[in-house]
Structure 1
C-alpha cells in the first residue's frame, strides 16, 4: 500500500458518495412532487444540494422527466381558502421561474445554433459543384496555361535572338560610323 491510500478504498468511497448524492436527488424529487412544487432539474439539484449536472445523468434524468410528465398531466389542486401567499413564497416562485426561463432560453439558443449549422451544411451540399466537372475544368485550364507558357517561352527565345542580332548590327554600325568620322577628320 502506498502513502496516498489504497485505490480500491478510494474508489469505494467515491461510489458511496455518488450513491448518496443520487439518493438525495431522488428523495428531493419525491419531496418536490409531494409538495406540488414545480419540478425542474435546477429545483431538484438545489433541494438535494447536488450539482445540476447530476440531475441530467442516466438514472436521475428519467425520474425527473417522469415526475414532470405526471405533474403536467395532473390537474392542479383547487386553491384552499384561508391559505395566504407569502411574499417569501412568491419570491421563491419568481426565482424558480426566472431560472427556468434562463435554462429554456439557453436550450433554445443551442437548438437554434444546431439547426443553423445543419441548414448551412445542407445548403453547402446542394450548391456544391460536381467534383468530376471541377476536376475536368481545372485540367483544361492547366493544359491551356501550359500551352500559353510554352508559346511565351518560344516568343521570349525568339525575341532574345532578335535583340542579340540587333545589338550586333548596332555595334557594327557604330564602329562603321566611327571609322567614317575618323577618315573624314583625317581628310580635312
Structure 2
C-alpha cells in the first residue's frame, strides 16, 4: 500500500489476478495423464464397430393408414399415439410425411439400425444374376401389353358403373324430396276451406 500526502493509506484496487505457474503445470500434467489412460482403455476395448452396408427396404412405408382420421391427442399419451409419424427405432415423433421420409433415410436412423451410409459394391457376377432374374420375371410373370390394355378397359368399365350408380342415387333422392315436399290434401277439406280453384279452370 502506498501513503498519500495527507497520511491516508491507499488501497490496491487494480485487481490483477496473480497466476501460480506451479499449480497450472500440475493441473496440465494431471489432465495429460487422464487422457493417456482414456486412450489406453479405448484401445483395449477392441476394434471399432463394423456396420452393415446400406440396403433397400423390404417393406412398404406406411404413410396413408391414418390419413383423414380424427384422433384425440393428450399430453400424457405415449409417443406412439401422438399426432404425427412415430419411429419405433429412434423413439421419436415426426410431424409430417416429408420429414418422416427424410428421417428414415437419414444417417441417425440408419445408424440405429446398424447400417453405415455406404452402399455395398456389387460384383460382375451379382449384376449378371440380377439381369437374369429380371429377364425371367419379364418372360413369365411380367405384364404384357394385352394385360395392360385389359386392366385399363376393366377400370374404365368400373368407373362408368360407379357413375351410373351415382346418377341413379341422385334421381332417387330427387324423387324422395319431391314426394316429401308435396303434402297430400283431401279434396273435400280443400273445397270446404276455400282452396278449390286458385284460378284454375278445373273444378
TM-score in same-fold range (> 0.5): no
Q: TM-score, normalised by structure 2?
A: 0.27
Q: TM-score, normalised by structure 1?
A: 0.29
Q: Quick check: which has more Rg, 1 or 2?
A: 1
Report the structure, 1 or 2, having the larger helix content: 1
